[in-house]
Amino acid sequence: MDFKFFDLALTKIIYVERRGYIMRLPGFYKLSVQDRLKKVAEFANLSEEEVKALISSAGLPIEVADRMIENVIGTFELPLGIATNFLIDGKEYLIPMVIEEPSVVAAASNAARMAREGGGFTTDFTAPVMIGQIQVVDVRNPESARFEILRNKSEIIEKANECDPMLLKLGGGCRDLEVRIIDSIFGKMLVVHLLVDVRDAMGANAVNTMCEKVAPIVGRISGGKPLLRIVSNLSVYRIARAKALFKKEAIGGEEVVDGVMKAYAFAEADPFRCATHNKGIMNGISALMIATGNDFRAVEAGAHGYAAIRGYKPLTKYEINENGDLVGTIEVPISAGIIGGATQVNPLAKICLKILGVKSSGELARVAAALGLAQNFAALRALATEGIQRGHMELHARNVAIMAGARGSEIDRIAELMVKDGKIRIDYAKELLSKLRGE
């Protein structure tokens, strides 16, 4: 067993066991960037080169960036943080998050710490099945066309599967087909859905190729004209679920349970609040998607589309169990991969995937769901109690203290005084610093 102890002055003992039984990193946030990276490197077995790529701010070489998109003139950086304390289905995770907003990583880690006391997160995943849409217009008899397409579906599926022998070899491929008739401003239209198991890829390319390939057959059988042939981001067959028990003692008592329930009820009843509620969930999920080189817009679109499927609703739900504890659940489509796209082209995404240690796109989706739930619980708990500004202001104050020249333990001390006095300004930080140093 790969078990390591780190004795630190700041904390008592930090236990790290690679994907093992216990791995809390209390005080992780108080370490220097270098020391944090050291811990993560040990946990994930990062090579010296990988460590250098993370810290050198040259992780994405310009030649690689130039091949990723068009008209490249540089690269653009964002902070990469690590969410700690995540115990998901009995496995320990350090979750890489790329995000510009303060407090998000801390909030996720904090919620995950509370969830641990209820056993951590349990998760579930349907299958990595994406939907490819073929729009068929000018269909004279849509019902008959639908009948004929369904009757001939094996021919269409067979043709689709000629596109990607590698995917078939890996156990994926076009699995099934469905036909819908929709009402549009141009009257009835036929929409054929290819249901494609894309295994560990995000899958948009594979699906789009199949749609283009089979569209002429669909046209011939339906007697209509195939028009759009494109993946749907509303991936209802690629759903991740997570559940966590937040024991009332672990989260601040009955009042907090009640506050979170009422905050959830607000989102359930009001789309204006619900948009922000779901945004908070995506703070976590998108940060993980960016870190792993995934198309986070696709996941965002899927999540909000899913939330709106029966009137815009929260992606999370909360209940109180027989002991008065809070049980949170989330259900969200996650169309994200661990191969293909930028996941393997961007060296930083590769390193993040290594830190995360997921072995399949399904595992990535399950972690994303747990992270989304943690993020949402943290936000509701903060909003229903002290509000979120204090945490934000503390972080802001730390930055101001650093800008004023504070170092080491001076940073927290100066930040604390500025927050207490309600004066978070560089000139005040400098004044406090001189006093502290006895100048």
Q: Binding-site residue total for ligand MEV (CB under 6 A)? A: 9
- CB nearer to ligand MEV: give 256 or 379: 379
Out of 2, 77, 101, 162, name the contact with ligand MEV by CB under 6 A: 101
The one catalytic residue among 2, 101, 158, 176: 101
Choices 48-56, 237-245, 277-285, 304-312; region in contact with ligand MEV by CB under 6 A? 277-285
The residue count of the chain comes to 439
Out of 45, 47, 184, 276, name the contact with ligand MEV by CB under 6 A: 276
CB of 21 to ligand MEV, least distance (A): 32
Are 381 and 318 in contact by the 8 Å Cβ rule? The answer is no
Query: Which residues in 342-401 contact ligand MEV (CB under 6 A)?
Result: 379, 383, 388
Choices 215-223, 229-237, 271-279, 344-352; region in contact with ligand MEV by CB under 6 A? 271-279
Identify the three-state secondary structure at position 437.
Answer: coil
Binding track, positions 172-211, relative to ligand MEV; x by CB under 6 A: ----------------------------------------
Give the whole-angstrom CA distance, residue 55 versus residue 195.
Answer: 41
CB of 388 to ligand MEV, least distance (A): 5
Out of 277, 366, 381, 398, name the contact with ligand MEV by CB under 6 A: 277
Give the whole-angstrom CA distance, residue 225 versus residue 218.
Answer: 9
CB of 100 to ligand MEV, least distance (A): 11
For 399, half-sphere exposure in the C-beta direction (CA atoms, 13 angstrom radius) is 8
CB of 302 to ligand MEV, least distance (A): 19
Q: Where are the alpha helices (DSSP H) in 27-131?
A: 33-44, 48-55, 62-68, 104-116
The one catalytic residue among 159, 188, 317, 392: 392
Q: Is 197 a residue of the active site?
A: no
Q: Is 435 a residue of the active site?
A: no
CB of 50 to ligand MEV, least distance (A): 30
Choices 55-63, 78-86, 132-140, 273-281; region in contact with ligand MEV by CB under 6 A? 273-281
Q: Is 81 in the site for ligand MEV (CB under 6 A)?
A: no
Q: Which helix (H) or strand (E) holds 193?
A: strand 187-197
Q: Is 101 a residue of the active site?
A: yes
Q: Is 283 in the site for ligand MEV (CB under 6 A)?
A: yes
Give the whole-angstrom CA distance, residue 240 versus residue 125.
Answer: 4
Q: How far is CA 250 from CA 28, 103, 113, 137, 415, in A?
A: 20, 20, 9, 57, 27
Who contacts 408 (Cβ-Cβ below 8 Å, separation ≥6)? none
The one catalytic residue among 295, 363, 394, 410: 295
Count the Cβ atoms, other than its own, within 10 Å of residue 326.
Answer: 26
Nearest to 366 by CA among 354, 378, 374: 374
Cα torsion for 40, 43, 49, 55, to the nearest 10°? 0
CB of 114 to ligand MEV, least distance (A): 16
Taking phi over 0 as left and psi of -120 to 50 as alpha, with beta for the rest, 221 belongs to: alpha
The one catalytic residue among 38, 279, 396, 423: 279
Q: What are the backbone dihedrals phi and psi of residue 408, each rounded to the nearest 5 degrees, phi first? A: 55, -130
CB of 33 to ligand MEV, least distance (A): 23
Are 62 and 74 in contact by the 8 Å Cβ rule? The answer is yes
Count the Cβ atoms, other than its own, within 10 Å of residue 151.
Answer: 10
- CB nearer to ligand MEV: give 190 or 382: 382
Q: Is 89 a residue of the active site?
A: no
Are 129 and 203 in contact by the 8 Å Cβ rule? The answer is no
Q: Is 102 in the site for ligand MEV (CB under 6 A)?
A: no
Angle (CA) 301 303 308, round 5°: 95
CB of 375 to ligand MEV, least distance (A): 8
Q: Is 280 in the site for ligand MEV (CB under 6 A)?
A: yes
- CB nearer to ligand MEV: give 215 or 380: 380
Out of 18, 247, 279, 413, name the contact with ligand MEV by CB under 6 A: 279
Cite the active site residues: 101, 279, 295, 392
* Binding residues vs ligand MEV (CB under 6 A): 101, 276-277, 279-280, 283, 379, 383, 388
